[in-house]
Amino acid sequence: MAETRTITIDPITRIEGHLKVEVVVEAGVVKEARCSALLFRGFENILLNRDPRDAALLVQRVCGVCPVGHAAASALCLDNAFGVDAEVPHNGRVMRNLILGSNYLQSHILHFYHLAALDFVDVAAAAEYEGADEALCGVRDFIARGELSPFVPRYEGDYRLSKEANQAATAHYVKALEARRTAHELGAIFGGKLPHEVGIVVGGVTEVPTSDKIAAFLSKLAGLRKFIADVYLPDVLAVAQAYPDYFEIGAGCRRWLSYGGFDLETAEADLLKRKRLFPAGRVEAELSLAPVDPGKIAEYVRHSWFEDATSGLAPGAGETKPAPEKESGYSWIKAPRYDGQPHEVGPLARTLVAYAAGDAAVKKQVDGLLAQFGAQAGALFSVLGRHAARALETARVAEAMERWVMELKPGEPVCDWRPVPDSGSGMGLTEAPRGALGHWAEIEGGRLSRYQLVVPTTWNASPHDDEGIPGPIEQALIGTKVKDSENPFEVVRIVRSFDPCLACSVHMLTPRGREVGRWRVL
């Protein structure tokens, strides 16, 4: 009989938050996979009985990586509940996009350089670097002394880049920190501050555009566009050239969902019909576009630590009732399903939906990428497909931001202020950097009586549902060949390609412990 081993990676490092992944490997191939989120915060319960106008600030505390997505979703949701959804002024809409866009640039650069690239880059190679010190931004001496933290511990082996490419990518790790600082400064111009901005409110934005702010924005953005074009995109392509087999690994559930994001108008109150930079839609592997009906979304909890009686509820009627002792549970993440099926969300989903919708800019980028690698569209359903989609999207968002900032109209309104309604309900659907993000709220007596979030990583890292169907990351792991169970780098590369964020997905606190490298092979 073939040897069966269970590999437990707990926690998976270089992602946001605390995720345990357990895979059962039989004859070197993953047969079963379970993703477990291990901490609970109950953020949805924290919002109850609050003034709805505070929600955009409170929900940002879910996460320091994608707070603006939460502010944006919350504002859209409460615009809807306050009846101002089609009235947000032009300047308010544009500034919301600029603040969110800045967070996208920050988040995508963070994901590649500081989280995922280290799966492919051998930082130790920088010790032999013979060029100018500045290029390594002062880290060479540390590396030469063997001080490799925070680049270790890691799984060893399978580093394929040339010495020069490893050295360049290590230097870019430091440059990327500077780029992220610039992206935060960019978002703070109209958001007041970052990571948790204070500009986005129900009805619009509080900041006022001036020619000084527009000029500052353009100048910082130009630097970031240069970094994206000259550093980020080439580095992703270099990784793709060295690891082409990762175009064939980690496909997942082959169903993708996007709510659409970055409003190009507000006159249309239905967010799924609104003209947006990213279109809304669903696709499967043959890439034909299907519509999104939010009435088909439900969250299941058979394998999550929530009361079984709350399983199958639509998010607008959702409940958050923890049941930590539940035997069938193995995660604090619920299992959202669309029409009973798991869906992957994120940059790849948005790219495939836009491609299927005939978006000319996306088609040009994607066809160019496929031609460069002599690949078919199916190659996108992979670890490298996710990294490439994220990088290409970063360039498109930055380019759009340059246009948008020039559309601001100094002196014109930024917000349509409305009183808090006594009662009402709302739904806010948008795209955070990691994918489809939905907030649902109910107001009674002028206070929040229900608040539910279904976030990108809730979709991607969801556990099995009530029918036993595994979540997207779990499905991406099943069928993977693991060459060395002592160094299961295929597993972590697949998980990281989704850019999971556990703080978001269970709306919980980052663990206080400092432990970063424990793993067990059973």
Site for Mg ion, rule CB under 5 A: 453
Residue 148: CB minimum distance to Mg ion, A: 38
Residue 393 in the binding site for ligand NFE (CB under 6 A): no
Distance CA 408, CA 98 (A): 10
Residue 16 in the binding site for ligand NFE (CB under 6 A): yes
Distance CA 493, CA 507 (A): 24
Q: Which residue is closest to Mg ion by CB? A: 453
E strand intervals along 60-203: 200-201
Residue 247: CB minimum distance to ligand NFE, A: 24
> In whole angstroms, how far apart are CA 424 and each of 316, 446, 507?
12, 9, 24
Q: Which does 21 bind (CB under 5 to 8 A by kind): ligand NFE, Mg ion, none?
A: none
Residue 432 in the binding site for ligand NFE (CB under 6 A): yes
Task: Give the relative orientation of helices 90-109 and 163-191 as an angle to the nearest 10 degrees.
Answer: 150
**Phi and psi for 338 in degrees, rounded to 5?**
-105, 120
Q: With respect to ligand NFE, which residue has the nearer C-beta, 129 or 440?
A: 440
43-74 per-residue burial string, b: 16 or more CB within 10 A, e: under 16 = bbebbeeeebbebbbbbbbbbebbbbbbbbbb
Residue 503 in the binding site for ligand NFE (CB under 6 A): yes
Q: With respect to ligand NFE, which residue has the nearer C-beta, 433 or 463?
A: 433
Q: Which region among 36-44, 63-71, 328-336, 413-421 touches ligand NFE (by CB under 6 A)?
A: 63-71
Residue 98 in the binding site for ligand NFE (CB under 6 A): no
**Residue 353 near residue 281, CB atoms below 8 Å:** yes
Q: With respect to ligand NFE, which residue has the nearer C-beta, 209 or 318?
A: 318
Q: How far is CA 202 from the centre of its chain?
A: 24
Q: Which does 251 bind (CB under 5 to 8 A by kind): Mg ion, ligand NFE, none?
A: none
Token pair of 404, please? 């948008």
Distance CA 336, CA 232 (A): 33
Q: With respect to ligand NFE, which residue has the nearer C-beta, 247 or 498?
A: 498
Residue 435: CB minimum distance to ligand NFE, A: 7
Residue 310 in the binding site for ligand NFE (CB under 6 A): no
Q: With respect to Mg ion, which residue has the nearer C-beta, 183 or 453?
A: 453
- State which of positions 436-475 bind ligand NFE (CB under 6 A): 437, 455-457
- DSSP secondary structure letter of residue 53: G
Q: With respect to Mg ion, which residue has the nearer C-beta, 315 or 385?
A: 315
The one among 69, 260, 438, 471 contacting ligand NFE by CB under 6 A? 69
**Residue 219: CB partners within 8 Å, gap ≥ 6?**
none
Residue 110 in the binding site for ligand NFE (CB under 6 A): no
Token pair of 99, please? 């603040």
Q: With respect to ligand NFE, which residue has the nearer C-beta, 69 or 426?
A: 69
Residue 434: CB minimum distance to ligand NFE, A: 3
> In whole angstroms, how far apart are CA 17 and each of 117, 180, 270, 298, 503?
18, 20, 33, 24, 5
Residue 169 in the binding site for ligand NFE (CB under 6 A): no
> Which residues here bind ligand NFE, judged by CB under 6 A?
16, 63, 65-66, 69-70, 432-434, 437, 455-457, 501, 503-505
